[in-house]
Amino acid sequence: MNSRKYLVEKIVKIILLIFTIFIVFVLLSIFYGIFKKGLPALNWEIISQVPKGGYYFGKEGGILNAIVGSLYLAIGASLIALVISIPAAFFIHTYLFSYPKWQKRVRLWLDVLWGIPPIVYGAFAFNFMLFMGWPSSLLAAMITVALLISPVMIRSMDESLQHNSKGLFESALSLGFFKGEIGFKFLFKQSLPGITTAFLLALGKGLGDTASVLFTAGFTDYIPESITEPAATLPLAIFFQLSSPIPEVKERAYAAAIVLTIIILVISILSRVLSKRFSKNRIK
């Protein structure tokens, strides 16, 4: 019954297509919504100035404090996460090499950690800060976000090392290298594309995450001058402006959303380009 096969094939194709179109449509309509509402309010002033006195009532100023705050936070957090993640990922692939059971356990644990909602990290960090008597600050937020993104960073490097790492490891050992040396010399080169992707993913997450910075970063109208000062972040700036009853302020919230979306878009594209460039010496 070949004609039936053709019919079913057609139906299946249409179903798959519908779902694909649906998700692309959602993405495009978000873009459309943000740009339609935000574009009129988006101008040089809003991205080049910090809020003036009456900013939140629709008067002069901009969201430079939040843009800079978010960038500081995301870069700082990603760097801290990198310092934690690289040794951890190498450990899984070198010293844990002989213990596959433990490799699996560590991976499961990291995946569980990644599943914990950011607000829980935020609350945990906030409690810790209260206990220690620390005020909200850029540093506290950096550490919180770093802890939040480390699991996925480790796992993404780990995935990039899965392929071929056994043979590479054994042949480097047979040359007389020791395990740690293999990690930092060869696995580093091998996972450079993975590290780049992981770093930029983390950067995006650091820019976009709201819940974990809600209590930890605080909010300020100024650009922080040290990591012990509180800092404004874009997601929180959007949140505060969106909850305002004044239409002009609401519009600016969408303008801020455009800025955030564009930054994250640029990072995503950059991560593709860089990871391709760094795969040059990777052994496939």
Partner 1 sequence: MSLENNTSLIDEEIIRKDESKGLHNLIYVKDLSLWHGKQQTLKNVELNIRDKGITVLLGPSGCGKTTLLKTFNRLTDLDPDIKTTGSIFFEDKDILTKNIDVYALRQKMGLLSQRPHPLPGTISDNIRYALKLKGIKSKVEQDDRIEYYIKKVALWDEVKDRLKYSANSLSIGQQQRLCLARGLAIEPRVILADEPTSALDPISSRKIEEQFQELSKEFAIVLVTHILRQAKRLADYTAFMYYGEVVEKGKPSDLFENPKTEIFKDYLQVGH
Least distance in Å: CB of 168 to partner 1?
5
- Taking the least distance from each CB to partner 1, the nearer of 190 and 220 is 190
With 0-12 CB in 10 A as exposed, 13-18 as middle and 19+ as buried, what is 13? exposed
Binders of partner 1 among 159-198, rule CB under 8 A?
Answer: 164, 167-168, 170-178, 185-186, 189-190
By CB under 8 A, residue 226 contacts partner 1: no
d(CA 217, CA 143) in angstroms, rounded, equals: 10
Least distance in Å: CB of 197 to partner 1?
17
* DSSP collapsed to 3 states, the chain: CHHHHHHHHHHHHHHHHHHHHHHHHHHHHHHHHHHHHHHHHCCHHHHHCCCCCCHHHCCCCCCHHHHHHHHHHHHHHHHHHHHHHHHHHHHHHCCCCCCHHHHHHHHHHHHHHHHCCHHHHHHHHHHHHHHHCCCCCHHHHHHHHHHHHHHHHHHHHHHHHHCCHHHHHHHHHHHCCCHHHHHHHHHHHHHHHHHHHHHHHHHHHHHHCCHHHHCCCCCCCCCCCCCCCCCCCHHHHHHHHHCCCCHHHHHHHHHHHHHHHHHHHHHHHHHHHHHHHHCCCCCC
Least distance in Å: CB of 172 to partner 1?
6
- Taking the least distance from each CB to partner 1, the nearer of 5 and 280 is 280
- x-or-dash pattern for partner 1, window 262-281, by CB under 8 A? ------------------xx
Tell me the site size for partner 1, rule CB under 8 A. Answer: 24
- Taking the least distance from each CB to partner 1, the nearer of 167 and 247 is 167
- Taking the least distance from each CB to partner 1, the nearer of 177 and 222 is 177
Binders of partner 1 among 88-147, rule CB under 8 A?
Answer: 97-99
- Taking the least distance from each CB to partner 1, the nearer of 48 and 164 is 164
Least distance in Å: CB of 202 to partner 1?
23
d(CA 243, CA 260) in angstroms, rounded, equals: 18
Least distance in Å: CB of 161 to partner 1?
11
- Taking the least distance from each CB to partner 1, the nearer of 164 and 228 is 164
Least distance in Å: CB of 47 to partner 1?
41
- Taking the least distance from each CB to partner 1, the nearer of 185 and 276 is 185
Residue numbers of the site for partner 1 (CB under 8 A)? 97-99, 164, 167-168, 170-178, 185-186, 189-190, 280-284
